[in-house]
Structure 1
Amino acid sequence: MDPNRQPQRLTRHVDRRGVLAGGLVALGLTVAATAARPLARPFAQRFGVATPVVPDAPAGDERLEQRISTARGRTVDFYTAVPAGHGAGRGLPVCLILHGGSKFPPDFSGLGLGRFVTDAVRRGAPPFVLAGASGDRLGWRPGGPDDPQRMVRAELPVWCRARGFDTSRLAAWGWSMGGAGSLLLAEAYPGLLRGVAAFSPAVVPGDDVFSGVHQLGRLPVGLWCGRDDSLYDMVRSLERALPAPPVAGGYADGRHNFAYWSTVVPAAFDFIARTLAR
């Protein structure tokens, strides 16, 4: 038995029937739990709600479990998603997810992440697995008894290996503070990752991401941000500071939310798949 497994662990296989989760008005998002079709734009237009775009693809083996994190000093949610048609994902490489400040692993299936990874493979991308765990609301910085960065580096790969995933091939993807955290992880541990995809990373010139940017070397980086995002100018400054230009990414109309980020997930997952391919 895995010593990190809580005796009464929660394992949730996602219901693939169409479900709309709550929080629509408060969050400005429609959260769809593995529905069989994309979210309807006419609904969004009718009620003036910015709606994420989720692909018309099924989720595969998608799980939400719990693990005891020594690095964080608590039990955390552990999410994984395998593309449909690839069983339990044995032998597949892993993209580590570092979330932002308002969406956590229990929200990932509702955001359609399992469906996005299936869609990427169906469009021809080499298959990979998504894996993420609960980080701190204030960032993915190291330090003290609660160290979410150490959890990602030292514990997430162990939990993934126990599931049979190939942790010799890792990438990282995050949005907002998770985008900054993904870049920090790559800077702190050169050679750990094969690539980093960052959506609207929460950075400021002179912060720890900027000061360590030289550590990225020629690591493949994908960088995306909406032009209406308050972080847009900061992200453009980060792009200029990178030791090598991003190999993927771009800028389009959009704000700091999943209504925009969902439109660039396909491009990011194509980029991640390429970096993880043998």
Structure 2
Amino acid sequence: MNRRTVLTAASAAAVASIAVAAGGYARSRYAAEPVIPDVPVGDERLEQRESRARGRTVDFYTAVPAGYGDGRGLPVCLVLHGASKTATDFPALGFARFATDSVRRGNPPFVFAGATGGRLAWRPAGADDPQRMVHEELPAWCAERGFDSSRLAVCGWSMGGYGSLLLAQTFPGFVRAVAAFSPAVSPGDDTFTHVAALRDVPVGLWCGTDDGLLADVQALERALPQPKAAGTYAEGRHNFAYWSTCLPAACDLVARVNG
């Protein structure tokens, strides 16, 4: 680790400036911004780690629910970002607040953790292997922080939703659940070819009804070896304004299987 930055109150203010919901979650069809629970931020950190799998320094993000100290002993939900975001965007997207909100709604606590994986669809490209980083290095970094890296779930959106599904298929038993928001899948790709590997893995699927990926996501649902464990198809587009409305239900799934 080269440096560690513990996010300050200024960072929290930046989160709040994006969107804070005072009494619930956005359901507006054309919401422009993520709607984030109006709850406290716990121990939220953005650090840099050397990734051998990626051959570079990457940003490493963690968020512990407010009231749970440094999160020692808590299970982890890995976060795989889409093509237009990196781990540096996670504070502004409100992951720390969603972690706290989940607990306040009665769920067992867990930690969000993620790192920047580039735009490689979470697959290896030459010497750059973000999937190996998630499989090998992220759990090790979490264990160094005292989190319980034996209890892992994964969530992701768009490219990261595809990567989350592929991670569970490539490494059976690695994660206890997958929550995929508008995953960038298409019939015939690896997520369909290896869909049988998702047997016994609770899978949540969400997609907006105004999202061009809707038909493909629904096709993947039909191909699953068992019914999806969570997820809906509600009004929304391919953006975090919609995905922010899905995160509470995804947290419910993660907490249920990982708690």
TM-score by length of 2: 0.93
What SS is found at the alignment partner of 2:33?
coil
Structure 2 vs 1, CA of residues 199 and 107 (structure 1 numbering), >3 Å: closer, same or farther?
A: same
**Separation in structure 2 between the aligned mates of residue 73 and residue 121 of structure 1, nearest angstrom:** 36
Match of 2:155 among 155, 167, 173: 173
Match of 1:111 among 74, 88, 93: 93
1:181-205 per-residue CA deviation (whole Å, 9 max, x = no partner) reads 0000000000111100000000110
Match of 2:117 among 128, 135, 143: 135
Structure 2 vs 1, CA of residues 99 and 177 (structure 1 numbering), >3 Å: closer, same or farther?
A: same
Give, as a single letter, the amino acid of the residue that structure 2 aligns with 1:116.
F
What SS is found at the alignment partner of 1:243?
coil
Q: Tell me what 1:242 maps to.
A: 224
What SS is found at the alignment partner of 1:155?
helix
Q: Tell me what 1:186 maps to.
A: 168
Q: What is the alpha-carbon root mean square deviation over aligned residues?
A: 2.0
**Separation in structure 1 between the aligned mates of residue 127 and residue 99 of structure 2, nearest angstrom:** 34
* Higher gyration radius (CA): 1
Question: 1:143, CA displacement in angstroms?
Answer: 4.4
Question: 1:73, CA displacement in angstroms?
Answer: 0.1
Q: Tell me what 1:152 maps to.
A: 134
Q: Tell me what 1:11 maps to.
A: 5
Which segment is superposed worse, 185-194 or 102-111? 102-111
Gaps of 5+ in 2: none
Asked if 1:255 is matched to 2:237, the reply is: yes
Asked if 1:67 is matched to 2:58, the reply is: no
Structure 2 vs 1, CA of residues 138 and 131 (structure 1 numbering), >3 Å: closer, same or farther?
A: same
Asked if 1:38 is matched to 2:32, the reply is: no
What SS is found at the alignment partner of 1:271?
helix
Give, as a single letter, the amino acid of the residue that structure 1 aligns with 2:58.
V
The answer to whether the Cα contact below 8 Å between 1:39 and 1:52 also exists between their aligned partners in 2 is no
**Separation in structure 2 between the aligned mates of residue 11 and residue 39 of structure 1, nearest angstrom:** 29
Q: Tell me what 1:229 maps to.
A: 211
Q: Tell me what 1:196 maps to.
A: 178
Question: 1:234, CA displacement in angstroms?
Answer: 0.5
Question: 1:52, CA displacement in angstroms?
Answer: 1.4
**Separation in structure 2 between the aligned mates of residue 144 and residue 39 of structure 1, nearest angstrom:** 46
Match of 1:266 among 233, 241, 248: 248
Q: Tell me what 2:40 maps to.
A: 58
Q: Tell me what 1:211 maps to.
A: 193
Question: 1:87, CA displacement in angstroms?
Answer: 0.1
Asked if 1:83 is matched to 2:77, the reply is: no
Question: 1:10, CA displacement in angstroms?
Answer: 3.4
What SS is found at the alignment partner of 2:112?
strand
**Separation in structure 2 between the aligned mates of residue 143 and residue 273 of structure 1, nearest angstrom:** 33
**Separation in structure 1 between the aligned mates of residue 101 and residue 252 of structure 2, nearest angstrom:** 10
**Separation in structure 2 between the aligned mates of residue 263 and residue 185 of structure 1, nearest angstrom:** 24
Q: Please list every run of at least 4 consecutive aligned residues from structure 1 whose deviation after the TM superposition is greater than 4 angstroms.
A: none
What SS is found at the alignment partner of 1:167?
coil
% same residue: 64
**Separation in structure 2 between the aligned mates of residue 276 and residue 10 of structure 1, nearest angstrom:** 27
**Separation in structure 2 between the aligned mates of residue 87 and residue 18 of structure 1, nearest angstrom:** 17
TM-score by length of 1: 0.87
Q: Tell me what 2:75 maps to.
A: 93
Q: Matched residue pairs, number?
A: 255
Give, as a single letter, the amino acid of the residue that structure 2 aligns with 1:10.
R
1:76-95 per-residue CA deviation (whole Å, 9 max, x = no partner) reads 00000000000000000000
What SS is found at the alignment partner of 1:145?
coil
Structure 2 vs 1, CA of residues 246 and 219 (structure 1 numbering), >3 Å: closer, same or farther?
A: same
1:6-55 per-residue CA deviation (whole Å, 9 max, x = no partner) reads 2xx131324267634xxxxxxxxxx64698x52799xxx9xx86121110
Gaps of 5+ in 1: 21-30
